[in-house]
Amino acid sequence: MEEVKPDEKLYEVCIILKDVRGAIAKAAKVLADANVNIKTGALFYIPGKPEIGTWTSFVDISRATLSIQDLEKKLQSLDEVADVRFEEPKPAPYEVIHFPVLHGNSRAIIIGTDTFAALWEGFEGILTPSGLEAVLYNVGKKIGTYTATGLKDTYGLENKDLISAIVQAAKALGWGIVKFQDIDFKDLEGTIIMKESFEALARQKKPYNVCHWARGFFAGCMRVVFEKPVEAVEVKCLATGAEYCEFKVRWKI
């Protein structure tokens, strides 16, 4: 969602650009010359079509010197532009031009931590805390194995490089800020620090550790890194008042 000030008239514009030098600059100049204020934006390639990409932005047209129709015509007249779409986000300023949302080539969904909190509490009421703990841990393990295997196979990564990619993935997906430390490839053990854990933030002020999905995820990831089955235990949790979440992984005997 985008914040809208009282004096703004918000539109979302999606411009399909050919992959040529200066394409973004020329499109931006058309908007700037018409006194359109570009508020936020994102640029990315379309999966399977490396010759074109999309530039999507929220723009304020309250002081624009051209109408939406004239802006579309000016942008479409550029050789670098393949297509243009304007949409007024009413009644709420959601980003709605792009659907489905993608993570790489896979469809993704966006769920807020408040929604997760409601899910967790609902599941816990049915399964009891210990039952939910087992379910989340095993699901996290499968997802961790899938994620690490995908990174390993797609990019040819292993050992420390694979760990670095897992750290990137966790941050990019909003799960948390992860740091691996004291990773012992001989004894197959180590420590993982996770700051801003989405799981802990969704279930704050608990008298017990709550990041069972995360510890399962790390167990699954490290199984791929070590090429041996491992288990993970949470020894500190943000939800209980700790500064961050901390996990210990060790070889499963």
pLDDT tens-digit series, residues 135-192: 999 999 999 999 999 999 999 999 999 999 999 999 999 999 999 999 999 999 999 9
Radius of gyration, alpha carbons of the chain: 23
Is the predicted pLDDT of residue 111 greater than 90, yes or no? no
Quick: pLDDT tens for 78-95: 999 999 999 999 899 888
Task: Count CA atoms within 13 Å of residue 183 on its CB side.
Answer: 19
Structure tokens at 245: 């979440």
Which whole-number Å values give the CA distances from 43 to 80, 165, 235, in the listed order?
A: 15, 22, 40
pLDDT of res. 59: 96
Neighbouring residues of 242: CB distance < 8 A, sequence distance ≥ 6: 236
CA dist 167 and 195 (Å) reads 12
Can you give the pLDDT at residue 97?
Answer: 84
Is residue 125 exposed (0-12), middle (13-18) or buried (19+ Cβ within 10 Å)?
exposed
Give the separation between CA 80 and CA 198, rounded to whole angstroms. Answer: 41
| Phi-psi map region of 182: left, alpha, beta (phi>0 left; psi -120 to 50 alpha) | left
Burial class, 17, CB count within 10 angstroms (exposed 0-12 / middle 13-18 / buried 19+): buried
Has residue 77 got a pLDDT over 90? yes
DSSP state of 193: E
Say if residue 253's pLDDT is above 60.
no
Percent of the chain scoring above 70 in pLDDT:
100
Domain annotation for the chain: domains and CATH numbers: 10-108 (3.30.70.260), 113-251 (3.30.1380.20)
pTM attached to this predicted model: 0.79
Asked if pLDDT for residue 99 goes beyond 90, the answer is no
Higher pLDDT, 58 or 130: 58
Q: Are 62 and 8 in contact (CB under 8 A)?
A: yes
DSSP strand E in the chain: where? 10-18, 37-46, 49-60, 81-87, 101-103, 106-108, 177-184, 189-195, 230-236, 245-251
How does residue 123 score in pLDDT terms, banded at 50, 70 and 90? confident
